[in-house]
Structure formats: structure tokens, C-alpha cells
Amino acid sequence: MELLGEAGAPCIWVTGPAGVGRTTLLERVRDRLRGDGRRVSAMRFTSAGDLVPADASPDRPWLAPVAGAADDPEVARRAALAAAAPIVRGGDQVLLLDDTQWIDRDSLAVLEALIRRLAGSAVRLVCATRTPVRDAAAGLAMVRRLRADGLVRPVRLRPLRADEITRLVVEAISAAPSGALRRRLQELSRGVPSALHQALELLRAEGSLRIVDRRAYLVPGTATTSPPRVVRELGPDVLAVAKAAAVLHPLGDAMPALISEVLDQDKAETLELLDILRAEGVLHHGVTWRFTIPVTASALIAELGPFERRQFAAAAVTALWTGTALTSDPDYLADQIAEAGKLIDPARALGELLRRALRNDKPERGGRWLRAAIELTEDRAQRAMVTLLHTSWCHQHGDHKQSLAGARLLLRDFPDQLSADATQEVQSMAVSACDPAALAEIAAGSPDWTPASSAIALSRLDRWADAGALLARTEPGCPTSAMLSGLYASLADLWAGRPERFDANLAARAAWPLREVRRHRTDQIRSHVTALLVIGEQHRAERLLADERFPEEDLRDGERSMLAAMRGEFPRAVDFARRSVAHRGDDAGSSAMHLSTVSVLVAQGRLTAARELLTAARATKPMLVHLLDIADARVDRALGDHTGAAERLHSAIAHGLAVGTDIAWSELADLALDRGDHDTAARCLAELDKLASTMPTGRVLLHRSLVRACLLRGGTECLRRAHDRAQPFETALVVERLVRHGAADPRLLTPTYETLGALDALLYRAWLRNLMREHGIAVPGRQETVAENEHLLALLAAEGLTNKQLATALKTSEKSVEGRLSRLFSRTGYRSRIELATAMLNGDHI
């Protein structure tokens, strides 16, 4: 639009690859100009070379081919004069000409002469060309001449930036993409808008997108989509070669010969068809062959039939094995072996797949390779071994559907091929993936299941006391059963408030069963770290990781989320939690992770997101489910439902497990003190005294000292314990409560306010400002406070809270909320809460 308003060149020439948005750009320019009352005539060329209106405009074409114009400049000039006369007489107007890649030679000559004639007039011309262009020499030469004469301003549409990709994804699915998803979309589309939409649809069709808390995550899926229209329009012969190229292009210069071989056609014909694909911008041939837009290759492969895939894959594998082709992709050979199946040497293929799978950490590839390897086995023993490998891989990478199917197959068809230890491993994997009904059957004590497996089933049903009792009266039958029995027995005791066995196991790590087996050592370290984080022991968990030289990166997302929250790394904590939910992480720490994450979200003012996360968590039937009641109570309190919060906290306590009840008793005491009920608060303190006598963890002792301080007005010991634990958010909450109940110096609120600011805990900061004013403590940064209040209001409104809920959360009146919302919408220009939520998803500053 700026270029159209400038004096100078009469023509703007827009270029870019298919799907980059040239036509969309011209449509928006047309609509903007017509909205401003300017005259616009929009035409486009068809693939047949005809010039037709680009919209419903009745305008007649103002450019037409004149025979001989390409070879005789005078003919072209006269034709241009005739075309220009009525246009120039019409005065200020803009001509839009789309799809000029299909212009014929004579029309091109007339167009050049027309542009020269329009120089100095009030008429502007915008041409759009899809690049690359077949037989482009004449067109390129013309544009160069016009540009050299100052008559053309080129505009090349660039690929989308990361923030633009985010905006398009939010627009399409109402969820912001994770970094990994955005990078994958960029890789598949190379930033071309139409390809981006196709890539997004491809991933959705595959089941590779999962949305959690309005964030979209990339997860393994199964490909299924269709090739783009531009390839289909080139005809069946070109489409067949394009499909073959999609599989074989990583083989570089060997590709044309292999395509000819598989399609049984002359190599010259193949090269001619490949040249069409190259000229249309589908393929690029430089140092090697590649698809200009990678998602096109993915779409073409997805449309191949099973036999076609196997044929192409077998040709690729044979070429690589014989040395007639090379590839730089380290996974390409294994991918094609997995597709080829028994069309190639099965024994060699099986060995190759097993080697690659066991050295690879990519879940979507390793699992597929092992699944293919099963079909290449030659006897029952080999088949059982590979099925066990595949089942274990799926279990470790969270593919519960596949791991359960593999485990059932092994237990049903290959029991004679499994040792006692292998049987126990398979049973434990099956139990981890079973639904509640199947768990209940296993928990009932079927003779086909070991006591350890039944105990795990009881644990997954949250019947920890029954699990502990079962393990106490049975003997493990093999080392793997002994390892699992010891671990689950110690956890059952720990959750019941008896940490002695767990602490003893932790102190005697050198004696852990099967410690020398890497996967068992990993499972035991993770389980102990999870348990420590569930009971709030951050420093002990970190010390365990350091002593075992176990990298945090090897922890599960849920464990990393809890660690991040305790350290005050709120963005990482929430992101790890979302990733855990997206990848369906499910372990003993899942409920504790949700409690931790909900606490963070409530502090930030994301109350609806917190509730939605809890709803999704309950649907998975997690262990330690009573911790979700405590999390729900925190949302209730933020929304002013103190009665509902108290009921949930009592429900958590009534569940029967001790773990987490320190938080519940502490919250109940705080609610009681808020309403002046000191007797109830004293009873809560008595319960915390009992708990501390059997389970004196740092968090239990902190909550006991906190309730005691609030009752007896002495917060020194409580503050010392909080500072020793060095968890910023926890310390901030302790200080706020102590000051609110008159048990600490109000001057502590100033550093606490700064801490909450560093945590981006906007809602809690707003509450703290009220407390600071009550005690005459100056709130720093008036302008910053005003901006923060407005941002918090926008956040809460975008969460979908009603005005009454907003007033409760902000501790103000509904009338005040209405006025503030009106001013917010007026200032930002947003017309609805939906627009506001979309803007915030896009990362726009409010």
C-alpha cells in the first residue's frame, strides 16, 4: 500500500512460491482500495493462458494478446497504446494482474509496452507471479529491462517468521504451538502459508497434535493426508513420478534411475517428468534433489498404497546395500527397511532394524522399526524376543496402547519363551497400561498374575494400604519381583505416613535389587525422586540426582515440572506439566504435579486453566487422587468459595493417606483463622502435631510451625524453616500468611512482593498489595502497578470469568470491574473476550 502511494515506478511486481500468499495479498489490496473509494480492476491469467476477471467485477480485460507482438515491438506498442487510452483517461486507478506465470509471449510483449505507457500517469499496476516459472527467460528479461528503467518495483513475499507461524496456528486451532511443534511446522512448510496449513492438517490427521491448556504439542502419530493440488493438476504421469520421488529423493543422483526401474519406464521420460516438477517449483535440483516444500513429500508418501510403498522402499534398500546409492540421512535406511518388509533379505533386514532401534532415542522411529522387525522374525523364540523389545520400548516412551497389546500377546502366546523375570516385567508393563476394570481383575489376585503385579494394580487403583498388606504377606519369586515389591511396599508406607522403609531404601542404594541393569536403576532413581518431590523434599531429590550422577534431562516431564515449581521457575514448570499431559505421562507423582501446577496457575491468575487441567487430570484416574482435591480447593479459595474449599480439603484428608494432608490441615487452619475460629485452627494444629510425630519431613514441620505461629503470634521458627527450604513461592506464601495473622513484621511484605513479581504471580501480587496498604507499607512503582492491574484484568477476562468472579478474584466490586473492563476494551480496541484471549495466546502485550 505504501508503494502504491509513492510516485515513480508505475508497476509493482510481486513474486513468491506457490502458496506463499500472492493471491491473498492482491485480494486484500483490492478490498482496501475499494474501501477507500478507489477504482480497481482485477484480472488473472488461467493455466490455459486466458485473461479473466479475478473477482465478480464486470470489467472487461484490458490486456489482450496481439499476434506478432512478441516479435515486432511496434505491434506491441500500438496494442499497448490502444489498451492504455481508456485506462489513462479514467484517471486514478489500480490494475491488479494475478498468475502472470501463465502469460503468453505476445501478451507479455504488450504488457511491457503498457507499463512503459503508464509511466507518469496516475494509474498503478500490480502483477503477481508464482515462482519458479517454466520457460521464464522472456519474462525475466522483460522485468530486468523495466527495473533498470525505473518502471518496476519488485516485492518478493518472504516465508513466515516464527511469530507469524504462531499467529496462523492460533487462528486455525485456537491454541499456541509449542516450540517443538512450531519448528516442525517450519520444517515441513518452509514458512509458506498454504504449506503451513497443509502441514497443520497433516499433523492433525496423523494424531500428532495434542492440545493442553490452549497449547498445542507434537506427539507421535500415524501419517494420512493427500498431496497438494498443484501436483495433482500436473497429471497422473507426473503424480506417479512425484510419489516415487517423495520416497527416493534422499538418494540424490541415483533417484531418476531408481524411479525408472520401479515404474518400468525410460529414464529420459522420467527426467522429463522430473523437470516438470522442478519447473513447477515442487522439486529443487542443486547439489542433490529435494522437495521445495517438505510437507509435499510427506503428503505424497501418505497417499501411496501398501504395495507401492514396499516396492519403492525395497528399491531404495537394495540400492544402498549394493552401494549404487548413498544418503546423508542416518535414519533413511532403517525407515525403508521397515517399509520393505520381506521383499528384501529378512535376516539382514532384521539385524539392521534391531541395531538401529537400540541405538536410537526417537520414539516414533524406534517403535516403528521394532514393530517392523517383529514381522521379519523366523521362529517363536526370535519373535518373542523382538516383541518383548518392542513392548518395552513402547512402555518406556509412553505408548500405552502398543505396550499393552504387546504384553497381552506375550503373556497369551509366548509364556514358554519368558523367564520368571521377563514375565514379571511384562506383567508390570501391562498393569501400567490397563484401564480401571482390568486393574480390578488383576488386583483381585488372579493366579496368572504375581503378587507384585497385583500390588501394582492395587496401587494404581489408589488402594495403597491393600497393596502394602498384600506385599507383607507374600514372598517375591524372582529378582524383578523382589525389586518391585520392595519399591511399592516402601511407597505404600510413605504415603501412609511411615517413611522409615523408604528412608532406609534411599540410604542403602548400593543394595538396590538389579541396580546393575540400567533400565532398573533408572526406574528406581526416578521413583525415589518422584516420591521425594511428592512430599516436598526438593533438596533431597537434588542430592539424590547428584549422588547418582543422574541428569535431570532423564527425568520425566512431571518430575521436572515439580522441581521447576519448587525452584521458582514458573514458566518451565507449567510447560513441563503441559508436556507431561500431552504425552500422557502417568506415574505416582502425577497428582502432585497437578497440585504444583495448579498452585502456579492460580498465583498467575489463570483460574479457568487450572480448573480445566484438574478436570483432565481426574479423567485419567491418577494415583494419590486426593491431592487433586487440595488443588481444587486452591481454585475455590481464589474464587471466594471458602465453604467449597473446606469441603474439598476434608475430602482429601478422609481419603486415608497421610501424604499431602499437612497442606490440607494448614489450609483448613488458615480458613478457620480468617473467620476467627481459633478452636478449629487449634484442632488442625493438633492433627499436624500427630503427623509430624510419624512423618517429620521438612514440609510437614513447616506447616506445623506455620499454624502454630499464626495461632500464638510467633513466626521466627517458621520463617527459619521456610528460608532453609529455599523454595521462593512457598516462602512468599508463608510470609503473607504470617503477616495477615499478625505473626510477622509487615516490612517482610516488600521483599515478598518482589519475589512474587519475579515469579509473575500477578494475582497473588494484587492480593499482597491490599495487605501492604492495610499495614501502611508503600507499594513500589505506581505506573507499573497500574499496568500490572490492567494486564491481570485482561488475563482473568480472557480466562472467561464472569464479572462477579472477576470481582471476587480481584477483591473489588462488580461495578468497578465493569468500568475497568470498558476502559480496557476501549484502549486496546478489542471488541470481545474471545479477541482478547486470542491476542494473549499470540503473545500480544495487553
- Looking at the fold, whether 152 and 166 belong to one and the same domain comes out as no
In a domain, 573, yes or no: yes
- HSE (side-chain half, CA atoms, 13 Å) at 689: 7
How far the first Cα of the chain sits from its last, in Å, is 27
Instruction: Check whether the bond before 132 is cis (ω within 30° of 0).
Output: yes
pLDDT recorded at residue 392: 93
How confident is the model over 64-103, as pLDDT tens digits?
Answer: 888 999 899 999 999 999 888 888 887 888 999 999 988 8
pLDDT recorded at residue 698: 96
**Residue 825: how many CB atoms within 10 A of its CB?**
17
Q: What three-state secondary structure class fits 719?
A: helix
DSSP code of residue 44: E
- Looking at the fold, whether 549 and 562 belong to one and the same domain comes out as no
- Looking at the fold, whether 531 and 586 belong to one and the same domain comes out as no
Q: What three-state secondary structure class fits 3?
A: helix
pLDDT exceeding 90 applies to what percent of the chain?
Answer: 63
Stretch among 159-163, 551-555, 728-732 having the lowest mean pLDDT: 159-163
- HSE (side-chain half, CA atoms, 13 Å) at 57: 20
Instruction: Enter the C-alpha cell of residue 622.
Output: 491418577
Question: 230, 282 in Cβ contact below 8 A?
Answer: yes
Q: Which residue has 503470634 as its cell numbers?
A: 713
**Residue 342: how many CB atoms within 10 A of its CB?**
11
How confident is the model over 576-631, as pLDDT tens digits?
Answer: 999 999 887 778 889 999 999 999 999 999 999 999 999 999 998 999 999 999 99
Cα distances (Å, whole numbers) of residue 244 to 202, 206, 274, 409, 781: 19, 21, 10, 36, 65
Region 777-806: what's the mean pLDDT? 88
Instruction: Enter the C-alpha cell of residue 212.
Output: 493442553
Phi, psi of 218 (to 5 degrees): -90, 125
Q: Find the helix or strand (DSSP H, E) in which 210 lies.
A: strand 209-212
Question: 788, 820 in Cβ contact below 8 A?
Answer: no
How confident is the model over 303-320, as pLDDT tens digits?
Answer: 888 999 999 999 999 999
Cα distances (Å, whole numbers) of residue 643 to 614, 634, 636, 649, 668: 19, 12, 9, 10, 10
- Looking at the fold, whether 7 and 150 belong to one and the same domain comes out as yes
Number of domains observed in the structure of the chain? 8
The model carries a pTM of: 0.82
**Residue 103: how many CB atoms within 10 A of its CB?**
23
Q: Is the pLDDT of residue 242 over 80?
A: yes
pLDDT recorded at residue 136: 67
Q: Find the helix or strand (DSSP H, E) in which 209 lies.
A: strand 209-212
- Looking at the fold, whether 505 and 633 belong to one and the same domain comes out as no
What strands, in cross-sheet order, belong to the sheet with 215-218? Answer: 176-177, 215-218, 209-212
Those residues with Cβ within 8 angstroms of residue 487's Cβ, 6 or more apart along the chain or in another chain: 505, 524, 527
How confident is the model over 373-391, as pLDDT tens digits?
Answer: 999 999 999 999 999 999 9
Q: Find the helix or strand (DSSP H, E) in which 271 lies.
A: helix 267-279
Q: What is the CATH number of the domain that holds 118?
A: 3.40.50.300
- Looking at the fold, whether 114 and 248 belong to one and the same domain comes out as no
Range of the structural domain that residue 410 is part of? 329-433
- Looking at the fold, whether 20 and 139 belong to one and the same domain comes out as yes
Q: Which residue has 521462593 as its cell numbers?
A: 728
pLDDT recorded at residue 523: 93
* Spatial separation of the C-alpha atoms in residues 336 and 446, rounded to whole Å: 43
In a domain, 650, yes or no: no
Identity (one letter) of the amino acid at 235? G
pLDDT recorded at residue 135: 67
- Looking at the fold, whether 109 and 251 belong to one and the same domain comes out as no
* Spatial separation of the C-alpha atoms in residues 336 and 811, rounded to whole Å: 62
Question: 12, 126 in Cβ contact below 8 A?
Answer: yes
Identity (one letter) of the amino acid at 642? H
Per-residue H/E/C for 442-467:
HHCCCCCCCHHHHHHHHHHCCCHHHH
pLDDT recorded at residue 588: 84
Q: Is the pLDDT of residue 431 over 90?
A: yes
* Spatial separation of the C-alpha atoms in residues 820 and 131, rounded to whole Å: 51
Question: 540, 560 in Cβ contact below 8 A?
Answer: no
Region 125-150: what's the mean pLDDT? 84
The residue ranking higher by pLDDT, 162 or 205, is 162
pLDDT recorded at residue 713: 83
Q: Is the pLDDT of residue 221 over 70?
A: no
- Looking at the fold, whether 546 and 562 belong to one and the same domain comes out as no
- The band of 723, judged by pLDDT with boundaries at 50, 70 and 90, is very high
Q: Which of 191, 218, 245 is at the close of a domain?
A: 218
Cα distances (Å, whole numbers) of residue 6 to 31, 119, 817: 19, 13, 47
Stretch among 78-92, 124-138, 304-318, 807-821 having the lowest mean pLDDT: 124-138
Biggest distance spanned by C-alpha atoms of the chain: 105
The number of helices, as runs of H, and strands, as runs of E, in the chain is: 44, 11
**Residue 441: how many CB atoms within 10 A of its CB?**
14
Q: Is the pLDDT of residue 228 over 70?
A: no
The residue ranking higher by pLDDT, 812 or 337, is 337
Cα distances (Å, whole numbers) of residue 637 to 644, 649, 805: 8, 11, 11
- Looking at the fold, whether 538 and 566 belong to one and the same domain comes out as no
- Looking at the fold, whether 771 and 787 belong to one and the same domain comes out as no
Angle at 499 between CA 456 and CA 570, to 5 degrees: 80
Q: What is the CATH number of the domain that holds 792?
A: 1.10.10.10
Q: What three-state secondary structure class fits 45?
A: strand
> What mean pLDDT, rounded, does the chain reach?
91
In a domain, 440, yes or no: no
Those residues with Cβ within 8 angstroms of residue 287's Cβ, 6 or more apart along the chain or in another chain: none
In a domain, 649, yes or no: no
Q: Find the helix or strand (DSSP H, E) in which 4 lies.
A: helix 2-5
Angle at 648 between CA 647 and CA 651, to 5 degrees: 90
How confident is the model over 457-495, as pLDDT tens digits?
Answer: 999 999 999 999 999 999 988 999 999 999 999 999 999
Region 430-448: what's the mean pLDDT? 91
Q: Which residue has 487422587 as its cell numbers?
A: 625
Strands (E), 595-692: none
Give the β-pairing of 209-212 and 215-218: antiparallel
In a domain, 531, yes or no: yes
In a domain, 439, yes or no: no
**Residue 780: how many CB atoms within 10 A of its CB?**
12
Q: Which residue has 513484621 as its cell numbers?
A: 745
Measured on CA atoms in the order 732, 729, 798, 808, is the torsion positive or negative? negative
Region 102-118: what's the mean pLDDT? 91
Question: 645, 637 in Cβ contact below 8 A?
Answer: yes
The residue ranking higher by pLDDT, 38 or 455, is 455
Q: Is the pLDDT of residue 193 over 50?
A: yes
CA 845 to chain centroid: 22
Those residues with Cβ within 8 angstroms of residue 568's Cβ, 6 or more apart along the chain or in another chain: 727, 728, 729, 755, 758, 759
Q: Is the pLDDT of residue 3 over 90?
A: no
Q: Which of 410, 433, 456 is at the close of a domain?
A: 433
Per-residue H/E/C for 407-445:
HHHHHHHCHHHCCHHHHHHHHHHHHHHCCHHHHHHHHCC
In a domain, 441, yes or no: no
In a domain, 742, yes or no: yes
- Looking at the fold, whether 29 and 146 belong to one and the same domain comes out as yes
User: In sequence order, which ranges of 159-266 are alpha helices (DSSP H)?
Assistant: 162-173, 179-189, 193-206, 229-232, 236-248, 255-263
